[in-house]
Amino acid sequence: MKFTLNIWRQPDAVTAGKIHTYELDEVSEDMSFLEMLDVLNEDLNAKGEEPVAFDSDCREGICGSCGLMINGEAHGPEVTTTCQLHMRSFKDGDSITIEPWRADAFPVVKDLVVDRGAFDRIIQQGGYISVNTGAAPDAHATPVPKDKADRAFDVATCISCGACVAACPNGSASLFVGAKITHLGELPQGQAERDTRVVNMVAQHDHEGFGGCTNIGECTAACPKEIPLDVISRLNWDLHAALRHGK
């Protein structure tokens, strides 16, 4: 397969970037999107040019490192991560525009690499439960109803990739925060810090410069883990409850 690649090139965080166009031939339809970029980088290396910087780690769709904006869609046309996207999802001769996540809270480090540290700082504000370490408690010590356990697990599949922010016309991270709030809020272990968690995480979200949610729903369509929009309703419900409780 043959592709025309329009790729955002930016040497560092402070220098302005722009789109560069590359032609790439002999791409196998079985290659993953990142393997295609690896091939491009080998070409660029051979020519003595600077390779395109992009993030990747596990390449099996579970670490959340590899997000790219591909033809205006976060992670490209399939419901999966960029690393699990294959070139067979494109047509021979396609022109593909590749950009980094665009959000001021996710500053570009280089080319397609952004700093998603804002998510870590939101998690530090309550995306955890405080327990003493030691021997594992008995499995039946804290019963969890099946439906709540299932829901908590479903939303806990969020890999913090940032596609929700990238796709959101408002640049909001509400789906991410909502997933964490719902995950811990459904479980008995999450109750003790439930009120302070939502207040502090939302405050940090706003402080990082993410936009406000207007329930448009682009986030959930872009999410490789299909986190539903109702986690944002849960987030709002918990926030109202916490404010009523004077937190």
Partner 1 sequence: MAVSGLIFIGFVLTHMYGNLKAFGGHDSFNEYAHHLREFGEPILPHEGALWIIRLALIVSLVVHVACAVALWRRAAKARSVKYVVKKSKASSLSSRTMRWGGVTLLVFIVWHLLNFSIGKINVQGGATDDPYNLMVDSFDVWWLTAIYLVAMVALGMHLHHGTFSAAQTLGLTNNDKARRNAKAAGALLAVVIAGGFSLVPIFVLAGVITK
Chain contacts with partner 1 (rule: CB under 8 A): 6, 8, 19, 69, 71-73, 97, 99, 102-105, 167, 169-172, 209-218, 220-222, 228-230, 232-240
Residues 6+ apart with CB under 8 A from 15: none
Percentage helix, strand, coil for the chain under 3-state DSSP, each rounded to 5: 40, 15, 50
How crowded is residue 194: how many other Cβ atoms within 10 Å of its Cβ? 19
If the CB atoms of residues 22 and 237 are measured against partner 1, the closer one turns out to be 237
Q: Establish how many alpha carbons lie within 13 A of residue 50's alpha carbon, considering only the half-sphere containing its beta carbon.
A: 12
Going by C-alpha positions, the residue among 36, 39, 96, 98 that lies closest to residue 67 is: 98
Q: Is the dihedral of CA 123, 126, 132, 135 positive or negative?
A: negative
Q: Which is nearer to partner 1, 86 or 234 (CB)?
A: 234
Nearer to partner 1, 193 or 208 (CB): 208
Q: Is the Cβ of residue 72 or residue 137 nearer to partner 1 in the bound state?
A: 72
Q: Give 6 or 41: the residue with its C-beta nearer to partner 1.
A: 6
Contact 73, 218 (CB under 8 A): no
Which CB, 88 or 207, lies closer to partner 1?
A: 207
Phi-psi region of 45 (alpha: psi -120 to 50; beta: other; left: phi over 0): alpha
Question: How far is Cα 117 from Cα 207, in angstroms, rounded to an integer?
Answer: 13
Closest among 103, 106, 73, 100 to 17, alpha carbons compared = 100
